[in-house]
Structures are given as structure tokens and as C-alpha cells.
Amino acid sequence: MAGITRTSGHYDKETVFPHDREQHNSLDLYSMWTVDISANSTMSGHYARNENPHKALRATELEQQDMSQTTTKQWSAGKLLLVIATVAIVAGATTGLTVGYSVRYEAPTTRAFYLFNSGLPFDQDVWKMPHDTFSPDRITVNKGDNVVIYYRNIEDTTEDHNFHMDSPYTFDAVVHAGQTENFPVVNTLHGTSDVTIHVNQTATITFKANWAGVFPYECLIHQPTMTGYLVVLG
């Protein structure tokens, strides 16, 4: 068997190549799929010369099988890459177009809300809780939206109101001295979780809705009633 350096597996080496046991035991995984043509071309001839027609025939059959296996497994790099790329492109395009057809998506945008303090018609002293609430008490946006809240303190008394959000949300706030954003700025806050405004003041609150979920916003001065919820759809 001189000349056979590597050959294929998947058959009983002991039966076919009884005297080449050591040589075949040293084969690695990849040589299972790798054939040395010059070596194989001499295999059946070798057995023929040793007058073992059954083994020679079997070896020839196995060579043919392995050559066909080898041909499919051993594509050139260019051909292999071309086939993989084609399959990947077809699969990717099919999936992507199906998703595009069946799923509705709204790109992030800027959403503005006007937020006011409000009051329920009950006596705070009798009910032992503040009658103040937010209006609206639900703000719904999509994840990724830029949120702008124009917060107005419309009390007819001298009561302050506050806007607070817990982690992970923080916001920027600009407080104006009057009822609109045209009034002078009296306070500017960055990355804060809390802003307080006096009567007839306006705060412009901005943040990006980066986290999906339901997050409370509260006036810490009027708990537990003055609480609203930011709903971020993910």
C-alpha cells in the first residue's frame, strides 16, 4: 500500500485493508473526506496483484462511492461561497419581505403632550387625601420616540406642583415664568428626575423613551392621588 497517504472512511478498514491498520488509525477527521487521487488509483491494482479479487472489487466500489462523496464535499471556495451567499440572500430576502409585508411599524418621532394639574370635587380634609390629579394621567408613546411635555400649573391658589419620574428615566426641563414658552426662562435642568413649578408657570420637559414599559410620573407634593403613567410600547 505504499503511496496511500490519505483515504476515506465509512467502511471497515480492517476488512479491506488489514495490513494497513496502523496507517489508517492515524488518520484525522478531515482526511475522512479527502482523497489522494494518485494513491487511490493504485488501490484496486494493488489488490488485483495480490490475487484477492473480492477485496479488489469491494475497494473499487468504495473508491467510487467516496469519490462521489468527495466531489460534493470538496467544492472550490468560490463555488461554495457563491452557493452559501445565494441561499443566504434568498432566505434573508424572503424573510425580510414577509416581515415587511405583515408587520406594521411606526418610526420614532417627536410626540408632544400638554399636561395640567387638575382637581377632583371632594373635600381634602374630610377624605384625608389631596384632591389633585394629573390631566391627562396616561401618556402613551412608542419606544424611541422623543417626548415633549408642556406642563402647566393652572392652580387658582398659590399651590406648587411637581413632576417626578423614577429611574431609568430622567429628563431635561426648562421652566418659564408665565403661561407659555414665550415667557422668560427661570430655571433650566439637565438629566434631572424632578422639577417643580409655581402657579402660572410652565415647564417644558423633554426626554427620549428609550425603555419600554409602564413608568409612573408623580407630583411628590400631592401623593398618592397625583400620579400618572407613561406607557412606552416596545
Partner 1 sequence: MQTVKNSGMLRWSAVALLFIVGFLDIYYGNSYAGFFESLWYVMGAIYIFTGAVIASDFEPRFAQPAVFGYAVFLLVLWATTAIGTGAGLDIVAYVDKAIEAVLAVNLALLVRNARGPNLLR
* Non-local CB neighbours of 5 within 8 Å, separated by 6+ positions: 36, 39
Residue 39 CA from chain centroid, whole number: 52
As a 3-state breakdown, the chain gives helix, strand, coil percent values, each rounded to 5, of 35, 30, 35
Using alpha carbons, select from 207, 175, 209 the residue that is nearest to residue 191.
Answer: 207
| The one among 45, 53, 65, 99 contacting partner 1 by CB under 8 A | 99
The values of phi and psi at residue 212, to 5°, are: -80, 150
168 is a site residue for partner 1 (CB under 8 A)? no
Shortest Å distance, C-beta 210 to partner 1? 6
109 is a site residue for partner 1 (CB under 8 A)? no
97 is a site residue for partner 1 (CB under 8 A)? yes
| The one among 15, 101, 121, 158 contacting partner 1 by CB under 8 A | 101
85 is a site residue for partner 1 (CB under 8 A)? yes
147 is a site residue for partner 1 (CB under 8 A)? no
185 is a site residue for partner 1 (CB under 8 A)? no
* DSSP 8-state code for residue 184: P
Measured between alpha carbons, how far is residue 111 from residues 143, 168, 207, 229 in Å? 11, 19, 10, 15
Measured between alpha carbons, how far is residue 231 from residues 32, 134, 152, 213 in Å? 59, 15, 21, 6
Measured between alpha carbons, how far is residue 70 from residues 31, 61, 74, 105, 175 in Å? 11, 14, 6, 48, 76
| The one among 3, 18, 41, 81 contacting partner 1 by CB under 8 A | 81
75 is a site residue for partner 1 (CB under 8 A)? yes
Element (H, E) at 200: none
**CB-nearer residue toward partner 1: 203 or 209:** 209
**Binding map of partner 1 across residues 24-43, x = CB under 8 A, - = no contact:** ------x---xx-x------
45 is a site residue for partner 1 (CB under 8 A)? no
**CB-nearer residue toward partner 1: 76 or 157:** 76
Using alpha carbons, select from 204, 233, 229 the residue that is nearest to residue 139.
Answer: 229
- Which segment (19-27, 117-125, 140-148, 188-196) binds partner 1 by CB under 8 A? 140-148
103 is a site residue for partner 1 (CB under 8 A)? yes
Q: Which residues bind partner 1 (CB under 8 A)?
A: 30, 34-35, 37, 70, 74-78, 80-81, 84-85, 87-89, 91-93, 95-97, 99-101, 103-105, 107-108, 142-144, 210, 212, 234
